[in-house]
Structure formats: C-alpha cells, structure tokens
Structure 1
Amino acid sequence: MSDILRPLIVGAGPAGIRAAQTLVGAGIRPIVVDEAPSGGGQIYRQRIVPDERSPQDLYGSEAAKATALHETFAQIRDRIDYLPETLVWNVRDKAADVATGNRTRRIDFSHLILATGATDRVLPFHGWTTPGVFTLGGSQIALKSQGCAIGEQVVFLGSGPLLYLVAWQYVKAGAGVAAVLDTAPFSAKFHLLRGLLAQPAVVLRGFRYAAELMARGVPVHFGVQPVRIEGKARVEGIVWRERGKERRLACDAVGYGFALRSETQLGDLAGCRFIFDARDRAWRPECDMAGRTSVPGIYIAGDGAGIAGADAAELAGERVGLILLEDAGFSVDRTRISVLERRLAAIHRFRDVLEAAFPFPDPWAGSIADDVTLCRCEEISVGHVRAAVRDQGVFELNRLKALTRVGMGRCQGRMCGSAAAEVLATACNQSLDSVGRLRAQPPIKPLPLEIAADGEAA
C-alpha cells in the first residue's frame, strides 16, 4: 500500500516534522519541502552558522521542545525526501511547482499536507517603512539564526504574546531594549487569570517574561497608540499617544507586529474552500477537526489552519499524519487520535483567553492618516483606498486591488492584504468578512528572472 502513496509535506516546522514522523512510522516515505536551510520552522529556527550559544540561550524555556523536534527530524532524515531552501510556488493538478535556486520543477503527489505556518500581521503607521523597522518575527529570526540584534536600543511595539517573548529574548541575549509598547490596555491582562486553570505553565511563563523585563529596567507601557517613527536614513525615535498625551523615546530600531496571520496561498491555489475566522480576523481554508480540507487528499496542520502556537502545531501534525494514513486504508490508533483532539481542543479554548488579553487595536483602521503608505510594494496610501470607496463605490478587496494595485507587488498582498481589508471595511462601513479576501496568484513569492524548468516531474 505504501508504494502508491507519495505524500508531499510543505513546511518543516513543528507540524510538518511531526506529520513526517508519523508517516515514516507507518513505512511511508514522504517528500518534505521547506524554504529554510534546516528544519524547525520559525519558532524553533536553527542557527545558520554554529556558534557558542546553547539551546537554552536560543530557545529559553522552550529549549527541550526545540531540541526534541530537531532530534526527531535528524532521526527520520534518511527516510524522507527532504528539499531545504525550496519554495513551493504553485499547486495544481495533484502536483506542486517548486523552485530551488534558479531551477524549478514539478513534484507529483498523492496527498498534500500544508504546514505553512504563519507570519506577522502588519498594521502600517507613519514611518513603518523606515530602515531599522522589523516585524517581531524578523527581529526574532535575526537573533536566533544570525546571533545579532536589529539595533542597539530597540523598541518593541504591538500586541500579542510574541511581543513579550521577543523583548525578553533580546534582554536575555544582552541586547538593549528601550521599551515595550503594548497597544492593549493593562486591564485586558486580567483575562489571563482565566487561563491559569487551563494552561498554568503558559500564563506563568508570560508573567515571568513581563516581570523580568521590568526588573531589568525596561519600561512597559500599555494602551498605547503608535503615532510615528522618526528618522530618514535610519530609525531615530518613536512617538506614541498614551492617555491622551504624546510621548517620544529615542531608539535606533523598532520591532513590531499585531499577532499573526495564517499563510494560506497554497490552499487557495489548490482549490480549497475558504471560511472567515472571526477570532483571527482572516480567511483561511476550511478544514474539519482532523485537518481535512474540502479537496480530497489535501490536509492542513498547524497555524495555517488557524493560529494556535507551536504546541498545537506538533499535536496537529501528528493527528493529520494519522488521519492521512486512515484515509489511505491503514489501521491507526483511534485512541491516540482522541487524545490529540482533546489536547488540541483545550489549547484552542485557551486561545480565546489570549485574544481577550491581547485584543486587536480596533480604532487603528479609522484613525490612521490618509498619507500613510499602506502597500509599500506599489506605494499605495491609505487615502487611495478611501478615495476608491468614496469616488468609485468600491466595497470588495479584489476590486480594490484592480483599481489601486494594492496587493499587486512583490509580496502579493501577504504583508498589506490584512491591513487593506481592515481599512476598506472601515471606510465603507462594512464587516471585515464582507469585503472578501485577496485571491492567490502563482507564484506566491517572487522567482528569479533567470529561473529555468527541469522539464520533468519528480
């Protein structure tokens, strides 16, 4: 039976690795494609060049989990077909178009597991394109994989658990953290008390991060509204509004983000049906509890199916591997599947607590100035969107794209799409789900102009 199975796993993070491990355990040899040079995903990203830092230095309290995941991947390495530094840029007709360096080829598959993870949600404001401004994820990658900070005096801004984690990691690494600016009010943090019974270790760890930051003299401000980042050739400072007053702080770098958004382009190209996730404020491929999408043979695991974190991604990866095997006619341990589903359900319930503690900044879309750049690739401002609503009656996101070029640049809307939807919905006084979503187009990320096709399917 294993001879006719040719599963393709996109992503070698927690979900992808656990899915591969499950398939290998059943005698299946999956293909694992990943853009990174080594397995681990964004959360457990490995160093590009080995240095003296220990796993504890790199991953803190998550060091044991990171080490275990890396060791698992090393153990199954000779029983999978692994393609690192490879981009899946299209999915069609039971095959994936992949690019490695300057070469592209097609890989046929019998089943597809999308473990593509998530990226930072970016909400533009004055100065966000200034050199020295990074996303929270980008700030973390620089520290983990390259062993460098994004600046000497860094301000971390936004909302979500990642805000405090990255700031704490910078402090532990000896980097200068000038301040943490949380857009959520302090009162919202009391919601975390509801999570103590469900996930006590997670909540207490978050409290520890905040307490250690303050103990080391890092100012933490709550309920802030970003006004602008100052500087031309480089970040020189940040201005925000707090309790009705503007405040300024000198810094040479800013790391910011407003929670995460799922990477969903490949699911779209594969023909999966989408649904609107109100909690994540985003559209994502519809899937059942097991990870099956509306397209037979295509599954989703991890943050690509809704933001839930690394622990949930590992559980979901194992579960989707078992479900794929069951769908293919293998006998699987249903008791283990039930255990995985109970643990995942508990984590997803805890997500409601986190959303209450780190709420989305609802006033942002209505308060942002017209001259703020919304789509940096095409240099489209917020005012262009509002003008399209006012003068041309635009109320749908793809129509907005056609008329203004929002989302037509290098990022294909991956960075600006969620912000454009928020601005459009507010400008036309519609709900966020009613303005729709940007349809994915291949290639989902830029390809070299000199790319050549091998001409044969793998």
Structure 2
Amino acid sequence: MLHRDRKRHAFAVDCMRVEWSGWEAGAMTRPPEIVIVGAGPAGVRAAEALVEAGMRPSVIDENARWGGQIYRQQPDGAGFQRDARALYGFEARKAAALHETMTRLLPHVDYRPQTLAWACEMTPRTDDGIIGHLATLRDMREQPLAFTHLIIASGATDRVLPVPGWTLPGVYTLGAAQTALKSQGCAIGRRIVFAGTGPLLYLVAYQYAKAGAHVVAVLDTNGIGTQVQALPKLAAQPAVLAKGLYYVGWLRAHGIPIERGVSLERVHGEGRVTGIVWRSASNAAHAEGTVRTLDCDALGVGFGLRPETQLADVAGCRFRYDPLNHCWLPERDEAGRTSIPGVYVAGDGAGIAGADAAELSGRLAAFALLDDSESEPSTSSIQGAGTSNARVNAATGERRALRRIATFREGIEAAFPAPYANARAWPDAMTVCRCEEINAGTIRRCVRSGAASEINRVKALTRVGMGRCQGRMCAEATLALLADETGLSPEALGRLRAQAPIKPIPLAAALCDVHVAPVPEDARDE
C-alpha cells in the first residue's frame, strides 16, 4: 500500500518535471521565482516584506479571499453583511490592517485565490541553489508552478479527539463553527453546546452568543486549578490574557454556564445530535463526578490547534518532535529556514503561536529569504544561516516579541492540555478514522497482536489515516491509543508521513490531464 502511494507521488512529480523541463535550463538568467503558500497573517506579511524589497512573489491562497482563518472575510456576493467589529471583535483593527495591506499589494504580487497546493518536489542544482515544482489546482484545473524560493505559511487545523457519537450530523469542530459564522453568516444549530478545551473554545462561544445564537453551555475538560497555575506564563502577554478573561466574564454575565474539569462521555442522537452526556469534576460528595445530560441540536468541539505540515513534509523537510505542540514539526531556525535550502516555514504551520506571532514570523521568513538570495544558495538553510543574515539580525523587535509570545504559548499548553489519557476509556466500537471507518477496537487489536507499535505501520495494516483527511482528523486519536497500548512516548510512536496529494483532488488532475472538466459544487464530495 505504501509502495503504491510512493509510486503515485512519483508519477505526479514526473508530470511537473515534464511541464517545467524547459524552464530549468534557463533558470540562472531569471530573477528569483518566489512562491508563498497561504494568505493569512504570515503569508501577507511575508509578501509585504518581499514587495518592499522589489520582489514580485506568487501568493497561493486556498480561500476565496485573503485573511486566513482568524481574519477570514465574507465572500463576495454572500447576501449578508456584518461589520468588522462583529466579525473580529477586539481584533477588528488588526484584521482591517491586514486586509488593507493585501489590497495594496495586489498590483505587485501574483495572487492566486481558490488554489490548492497539493504536491511539491525539490530538485537540488549545482549552479544557483534549488528549483522546486509546486502542483496546484485552481477551478478544478492543474496549474504547475516553478519556484526558486518557497515560504510555507499553511496555518493550522483543529486538534480532534473523538467522543462516542462524534460522527453524528450536528457535530462540528470549533474551527468549522467559526467558519460558518464568519463566512456564511449562520449558526451551526439552534441550541449549541461548545466543548473541549483551549482559548478557541471560549472565543467561539463568545462570538456565537454575541451574534445572537443560543449557547446552552461551555464544557471545558480542564479544571480551574490547572489554568490558575499557568497564570505566571500567561502574564507574558497581559493584553491577550485580559481578553481571554473578558470572554469568560462576558459569558458568565449573560447567563451561559461554564463547567470546568468535565469528561465528555458521549453524544446522543439518532440521525442527528440531540444531546451530550458529560461527567462533572470529582468533589468530596461525588468521587467520580456526576453524570449529566444537556439537550442540544449542535455541538462545537475542539482541543486546541495542530499545525498543517503536510506540504513541508512532501517537500522533503527534516522534522523533529516538539513536546510543546505535541507533534512533529519541520526543523527550522528562528527566521523559519528549514533543512531544505530555499524553503521557509512561517506562522502556525511552523508551530502554534497565534496571529500576532504569525505576522512577525512571516516578516522574518521574508527577511531570511532576502538575506539568503544575496549569498550562496547552499547556505540558505538551517545549517548555512548566518553567512548573510543582516536583515534577520536587524529585526530585533520582531525577535523579542516572538520570545514573549513563546512564553505565553507555554502557559497556554499548561492551562489547556488535551485529554489524551481518555483514550483508555474509549469503547472499541467508537469510530476513530471516519474516512476509512476504522474503530478503536481495530487499532487496539492491531497493536496487541504485536504487528505494529509505530503509527505508519498501523496505517499500513488498518488504513487509518489513508482517507480524505490524510490523518488530520484521526492521527491524534490513533497516537493516543498507541501510547496507551504500548506505554511508549509520543516521540517513539513515529510521525505519520504525508503523501501527495495532501488534499483530495480530481483523478484527472492527478493524471496530469489539463483538460479536466469542471466539477459542480454540489458534486465535489461524491
């Protein structure tokens, strides 16, 4: 199975090489071909710094309009209009500033909205560094793109851990719930419970309640004691901490119950969500807590965020396990240089740190690229950084701010750890990988048989992580089960390797057919 995946990836790369074979011969005489993947805070600020230096980068954006998830804009012709304050709250000025910056940049960049980067191949060269090939899809048609420098600002997705019944219609990730509100102007239900943990839990609940939705309750799997202990590090960013406290206070002042230290037992429903069963925190009267049920028709659930690293993986970047992010991340220096010369990572795709840090890291990655373009291409990676590092070294404000944010980030992880230990209580019949319909029992039996103790082996034997999401929804749960069954550390369990295409594409595009018929919107999931 893995061999066939590698063959498909090699075939896609060969198609790109055929398309661009004539380009390489003349590459030395051409100016840098810079590509930025992502048009959120990191991508926009990277583009801004490059344009200021006289470059014209290409900006690949999977969304219809720039801004990323946090500063997501309403689509043109949406049929509704909400002002910036309603959409972004305290961050309205930052959102407006980022949007206005990209508007000014449009004449000076090659902006490609609604474009998916689904494969990447780096080819070392002996003359002026590297040439990369990016496979992109726009309007259901393949658009290969060659580059000499690549900044990956791919952002993050929700960290998902399953609960019995989580596949019922009406269960959404917190990010999906936020997208529905911002981009589509609708709520995910009439009676909504938000559950999980992390700052996004309280932010989305606040945004929904402010918009007039009926928020039944907020259920946090972490207790107040855990969060209080993290306050010294959270105080590294007092303004951000104050906003978080405001959201909690506002919710309470408007009669929305907040329960902490809970355990999510199961989601009720036949054909759709009708309620959630949860267990309260233990106390002197109830050693195991009290089981309670809340009626609702929608559940927004999430346990923090995880970086989107698949593109860096298929580009060949070297990875390391990061205990703070609880995942494998591309190796990088403080400016975002990776182990591959000419490839840089920025924003939450390089490690979760938030929108402010993403803007700063996007600028630093651009500075590193500009510094590297003035030196030998072979030095423009982690190992060679420093030969020409003038712009990065001069960015003392950005680097100092990122250090403060890093301390705050440590506080966030201490205050809102994901409940991985709950994996032991997951029933065997509970679906873990919804794409391939693999349940917890199948994964446990695979491990107990002695056939696998590493995640890629589990993937090969059970197909977990081989579906549409490529492990985005199930990898964290599979690793939690592996850790519980083997007693091994997360680092010892291995890294789920990405394969091209990193997101679903039409088969004809994978076969390099430039005459792909457009697929109607209502048929794209079939």
Q: Shorter-chain-normalised TM-score: which range? A: over 0.9
DSSP 3-state at the match of 1:221: strand
State which of 453, 456, 465 in structure 2 corresponds to 1:395: 453
Letter of the structure 1 residue corresponding to residue 330 of structure 2: P
Q: Name the SS for the 1:363 alignment partner.
A: helix
Q: Which of 24, 27, 32 pairs up with 2:54?
A: 27
Q: Which residue of 1 aligns with 2:80?
A: 51
Gaps of 5+ in 1: none
Asked if the contact 1:378/1:406 (under 8 Å) is kept, the reply is yes
The answer to whether structure 1 residue 175 and structure 2 residue 220 are counterparts is no
**Residue 168 of structure 2 corresponds to residue 123 of structure 1:** no
Q: Which amino acid aligns with 2:250?
A: E
Q: Which one of the candidate residues 441, 461, 467 is aligned to 1:383? A: 441
Aligned partner of 1:190 in structure 2 is 228
What residue is the counterpart of 1:107 in the other structure? 145
Tell me, what secondary structure is at the counterpart of 1:125?
coil
**Per-residue deviation, residues 213-265 of structure 1 (Å, max 9, x unmatched):** 01111110001111111112211000011132211000010001111111011
CA distance in 2, matches of 1:53, 1:296: 43
State the alpha-carbon separation in 2 of the partners of residues 15 and 138 from structure 1: 21
- The aligned counterpart of 1:343 is 401
Whole-angstrom distance in 1 between the partners of 2:393 and 2:495: 38
Matches within 5 A, 1:187-336: 187-195=225-233, 197-242=235-280, 243=282, 244-329=289-374, 333-334=391-392, 336=394
Q: Tell me which structure has the larger Cα radius of gyration.
A: 2
Alignment partner, residue 410 of structure 1? 468
Q: More displaced, 188-197 or 315-324?
A: 188-197
The amino acid of 2:404's aligned partner reads: A
Report what 2:478 is aligned to.
420
TM superposition shift of 1:337? 1.6
Paired residue secondary structure (1:4): coil
Q: Confirm or deny: 8 A CA contact 2:269 2:275 kept in the other structure.
A: yes
- Secondary structure at 2:276 match in 1: strand
Give the total of aligned pairs.
455
Runs of 4+ in structure 1 displaced over 6 angstroms? Answer: none
Contact 1:192 1:203 in 2 (8 A): no
- Residue 393 of structure 1: how far off its partner (Å): 3.5
Q: Which residue of 1 aligns with 2:121?
A: 92
In the TM superposition, 1:74-93 aligns within 5 A as 74-93=103-122
SS of equivalent to 1:227: strand
CA contact (8 A) 2:43 2:362 kept: yes
Correspondence for 2:24: none
Distance 1:133 1:334 in 2: 44
Deviations 1:343-370 (A, max 9, x none): 1011011111111111221421222111
CA contact 1:421–1:437 (8 Å) conserved in 2: no
TM superposition score normalised by structure 1: 0.97
Check if 1:66 corresponds to 2:95: yes
Query: Is the 8 Å Cα contact of residues 195 and 203 (structure 1) preserved in structure 2?
Result: no
Structure 1: how far apart are the matches of 2:330 and 2:155? 13
CA distance in 1, matches of 2:438, 2:336: 37
Cα deviation code 1:155-196 (max 9, x no counterpart): 001111000000000011011100000000111121353146
One-letter identity of the residue aligned with 1:167: A
Q: Does 1:39 align with 2:56?
A: no
Distance 1:444 1:128 in 2: 24
Identity, % of aligned positions: 53
What is the root-mean-square deviation of aligned Cα atoms in Å? 1.6
Letter in 2 for 1:340: E
1:369 to 427, 430, 440: 427
For 1:89 and 1:105, the matched residues in 2 are separated by 11
Tell me if structure 2 keeps the 8 A contact 1:95–1:108. Answer: yes
* Inter-partner Cα distance in structure 1 for 2:230 and 2:173: 25
